[in-house]
């Protein structure tokens, strides 16, 4: 499957909300992966098993790409905030961005360690 990068313009203040939506989607996909992994039947034929494993692998790849997207968006958000005094005055509290960055880092750590906390982002 071919992948493309897309870009579009949003108001500066909308960036944390957009990243949060991506983050929530990541948890939905992680739930799907967890469900697929816990229901894998190793007693089926290799063809069926390989299709299920490939499905899991593709979803994990999607998660990885979306984490990269979140990272790129937050870096761009920080750089845009630093470039403009006017925008810097209007940007959300620095805790908002810090919170999003911490969530993304936490998600990366969970994926790297193989332990996936299911149930969505913590409030």
> What is the structure's pLDDT at 86?
53
> What is the structure's pLDDT at 21?
93
Query: Structure tokens of 119?
Result: 């149930």
Assess contact for 64 and 111: CB atoms under 8 A.
Answer: yes
Enumerate the domain spans of the chain. Answer: 12-113
- The 10s digit of each residue's pLDDT in 48-99 is 899 999 999 999 998 999 999 999 999 988 888 877 655 445 555 556 677 7
Mean pLDDT over the full length of the chain: 81
What is the Cα–Cα distance from 40 to 53, expressed in whole angstroms? 8
Say what the pTM is: 0.61
Query: Structure tokens of 2?
Result: 């071919």
Assess contact for 120 and 27: CB atoms under 8 A.
Answer: yes
């Amino acid at each position: 499957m071919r992948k493309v990068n897309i870009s579009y313009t949003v108001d500066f203040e909308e960036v944390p909300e957009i990243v949060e939506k991506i983050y929530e989607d990541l948890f939905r996909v992680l739930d799907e992966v967890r469900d697929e992994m816990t229901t894998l039947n190793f007693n089926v034929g290799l063809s069926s098993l390989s299709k299920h494993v490939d499905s899991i692998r593709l979803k994990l790849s999607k998660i990885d790409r979306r984490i990269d997207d979140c990272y790129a968006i937050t870096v761009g958000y920080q750089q845009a905030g630093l470039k403009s005094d006017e925008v810097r005055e209007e940007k959300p509290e620095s805790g908002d961005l810090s919170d999003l960055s911490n969530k993304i880092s936490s998600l990366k750590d969970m994926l790297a360690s193989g332990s996936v906390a299911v149930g969505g982002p913590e409030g």
